[in-house]
Chain A
Amino acid sequence: MASMLNGLLVAVLLLNLFALGTSRIRALINAAGLQGIALGLMPLLVHGHANLLSIVVALATIVLKGAIIPQVLLKALRDARIKREVEPIIGFMPSMLLGAVGTAASIALAAKLPPLQARVQPLIVPAAFSTVFTGFLLLTTRIKAITQAIGYLVLENGIFIFGLLLLDAMPFLVELGVLLDVFVGVFVISIIIHHINREFASLDTRHLSSLKE
């Protein structure tokens, strides 16, 4: 059980790296979806045992994060008729290296925080920090609006991972809260993307820079 959870967390870290280095938007959306599926499985592994409610929540997470949200984003991508290439401000290799540095820093930071529970997985906190950092990096260094929305999704994934620590203390409130946040956020963001596309006939957020000092 513990090593499977470890494996899932390592998979999430690898998907972060992949998301930073890929140049195709579809691959980026798929990476975020795969992360969502891995995340949905995690609460079952942390609990150890699986009662009906936790299975239902896990299923809901997997369906929402792994299927519905990627579909919404893919539909927005199709409607926008843009070039399906990720345009970064700082280049893919520097992004990946920054992500790697961020991951190393997360591991160092997590080592300073003492674990407060008996049998807690040591990789949860670093994976959470690293995913939040990756999401933040995607948000700030990608130009197209859709890729910024995916960055927000990855950020939320990182927060979800951290919520795993609270599962024993505050079950389900945490998962449901984050799920709700993500769902509403993505829903609203896709509406805005639709409006942006209608106004500008493009999703290049460099157009959204006429407002300056």
Chain B
Amino acid sequence: MAVVTVVIHILLLLLMPPILPGIINKTKAMFAGRVGPPLLQPYYDLMRLMQKGMVFSGTTTWIFRAGPLVTLAAVVVAGLMVPLGGFNAPIHFTGDLILFAYLFALARFFTTSAALDTGSAFEGMGAARDVTFACFSEPALFLAFLMLAKFSGSLSLTPMLNAPLSSHLLGPSVAAIVLVAAGLFIVLLAENSRLPIDDPNTHLELTMIHEVMVLDHSGPLLGLVLYGAAMKLFVLCALVLHVMAPYQTHLAAVDWALFIGQMLGIAVAVGVVESTMARLQLRHVPTLLVAASLLCGFGFLLMLR
């Protein structure tokens, strides 16, 4: 049984991510009254990119080539540590939540290093912004983890994230869980460069944050970058799902189907948020992220009483 779970986990982790950006784009298109790109467009994009050649700038070094690879590797390992649905993750041990957070940090480090490696001003600007916002969103993530650790009494991601699934809907800690869910949703938007923090469609120099860092990649490397970003979205959505929609029947097949449905639902939610909110002024973004930290902090405080 456990082997089947692991196999399904790995399959979902590798195959499902690109559909999430597809759903988000489709939702945004529907809000705008357009038909929009097909749902499977990201898959087509990846296949197309794999067949193209790569162009490298003369100023880049091995970091530029290694960046997308290390990022993807880190995100895959992180994905192996997050439980999907109510099932156990393939990798779990006490304290793996710290490894999880720092895998993301590793990924971010290599992405920004690859960007700085090009020696261009735009990439540098975007890298600086991205890292600054990450400084503000990490406390939110850690406070959320603290709250979950207190709630579940364990320091491993799998029991922590599965704990809300077995709690009562109207129990005493529901307020704390709701607060942490809101905070983590904001972190989700921030880490994946979604509105209202960053517009994934903009290509104006002064307004790009994440987009600017992947401007110089081409061909298969660009494919890896896009795939890695989609997988990061997938992993964080799976994380947020546990606090946003904690519900499980105890039948394996139904739970997997429920998980897939909920992931698609979260993608739609992200699309709705992107379509209805305007982008925040850059100087207000730290305020929003600090608010997310405070939300998670409140949740933690409520757990302490």
Contact = CB atoms under 8 A, between A and B. Distances in A.
- A contacts B: CB pair < 8 Å: yes
B284 interface: yes
Contact of A23 (B172, B284, B298): B284
A97 interface: yes
A104 B302 CA distance: 10
A177 interface: no
B251 interface: no
Interface in A1-55: 3, 6-7, 10, 13-14, 17-18, 21, 23
A97 B148 CA distance: 23
Contact of A93 (B179, B290, B295, B301): B290
B175 A104 contact: no
A92 interface: yes
A93 B286 contact: yes
B294 A7 contact: no
Contact of A14 (B287, B295, B297, B305): B295
A111 B175 CA distance: 19
Given A104-B301, A107-B305, A122-B305, A21 B174 contact: no
Interface in A108-133: 111, 122
B290 A97 contact: yes
A17 B294 contact: yes
Contact of B175 (A6, A18, A107): A6
A13 B298 contact: yes
Contact of B291 (A3, A17, A23, A107): A17
B170 interface: yes
Contact of B290 (A18, A96, A107): A96
A3 B172 contact: yes
Given A92-B287, A122-B305, A3 B295 contact: no
A157 interface: no
A12 to B, nearest CB: 12
Given A3-B170, A93-B287, A122-B305, A100 B294 contact: yes
In this complex, the interface size class of chain A, counting residues with CB under 8 Å from chain B, is 20 to 34
A103 interface: yes
Interface in B168-189: 170-172, 174-175, 178-179
Contact of A10 (B171, B179, B287): B179
Contacts of B295: 14, 17
B137 to A, nearest CB: 14
Counting contact residues on chain B (CB < 8 A from A), the size range is 10 to 19
A87 to B, nearest CB: 14
Contacts of B171: 3
Contacts of A93: 286-287, 290
A125 B178 CA distance: 21
A192 B178 CA distance: 41
A96 B297 contact: no
Interface string B105-122: 000000000000000000
B246 to A, nearest CB: 16
A25 B179 CA distance: 25
A96 B301 contact: no
Contacts of A122: 305
Contacts of A17: 291, 294-295
Contacts of A107: 301, 305
Interface in B122-173: 170-172
Contacts of A21: 287, 290-291
A96 B302 CA distance: 18
Interface of B: 170-172, 174-175, 178-179, 284, 286-287, 290-291, 294-295, 297-298, 301-302, 305
Q: Which 5 A-B pairs have the closest CB atoms?
A: A10-B175, A100-B294, A3-B170, A92-B287, A93-B287
Interface of A: 3, 6-7, 10, 13-14, 17-18, 21, 23, 92-93, 96-97, 100, 103-104, 107, 111, 122
Given A17-B295, A23-B284, A93-B290, 17 more contacts: A3-B172, A7-B175, A10-B178, A10-B179, A13-B298, A14-B179, A14-B295, A14-B298, A21-B287, A21-B291, A93-B287, A96-B287, A96-B290, A100-B294, A100-B297, A103-B298, A111-B305
